[in-house]
């Protein structure tokens, strides 16, 4: 699994951080998404998928 985030689309809603805190964070300056780990370990995949689904702006993209 490989994750891409598009900060230009992110609206800073923070849903991704709620779903998968170890993988996503929000930047201190603008609150937009920051990727902590682009290729997270297997045990986080379910949480990351949840984040992708719940992100309101479609800013998170997962390549299988």
Partner 1 sequence: MTGLNDIVVVGAGAAGATTAETLRRQGYDGRLTLLGAEPHLPYDRPPLSKQILTGHWEPDRIRLRAPEAYDRLGIDLRLGIPATRLDRTGRAVELADGSRLRADAVVVATGVRPRRLPGREGADRCGEPAGVYVLRTLDDALRLHAALAGGPRLVVAGAGLLGTEAAVAARRLGADVTLVCPARVPLLDLLGPHAAGLVAATHRGLGLRVRRDRVTAVTTARGAVTGVRLSDGSRLDADLVLVATGSVPCTDWLRGSGVSVEDGVVCDLLSAAGPGVWAAGDVANRPDPRTGRRGRWEHRTHAAEQAMAVARNLLAGTAARPFAPLPSFWTDQHDLKIQVFGDLAGTDRCHIAEGSPAEGRFTALYGAGDHVRGAVAVNMPRQAQRLRTLVETRAAWTDRPPQPTPLGAADT
Binding site for ligand SF4 (CB under 6 A): 5, 10-16, 24, 26, 33, 55-57, 59-60
Q: What residues pair up with 2 in beta bridges, in sequence order?
A: 63
Terminal Cα distance for the chain, rounded: 5
From residue 33 to residue 52, the character string flagging contacts with partner 1 as x (rule: CB under 8 A) and all else as - is ----------------xx--
Residue 47 C-beta: closest distance to ligand SF4, Å: 13
Q: Which residue has the tokens 């964070």?
A: 25
Strands 60-63 and 24-26: unpaired
- Catalog residues that contact partner 1 under the rule CB under 8 A: 8-9, 11-15, 17-18, 26-28, 30-32, 49-50, 53-54, 56-58, 61
């Amino acid at each position: 699994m490989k994750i891409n985030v598009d900060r230009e689309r992110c609206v800073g809603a923070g849903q991704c951080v709620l779903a998968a805190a170890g993988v996503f964070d929000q930047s201190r300056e603008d609150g937009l998404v920051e990727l902590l780990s682009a290729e997270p370990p297997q045990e986080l995949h379910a949480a990351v998928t949840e984040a992708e689904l719940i992100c309101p702006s479609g800013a998170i993209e997962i390549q299988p």
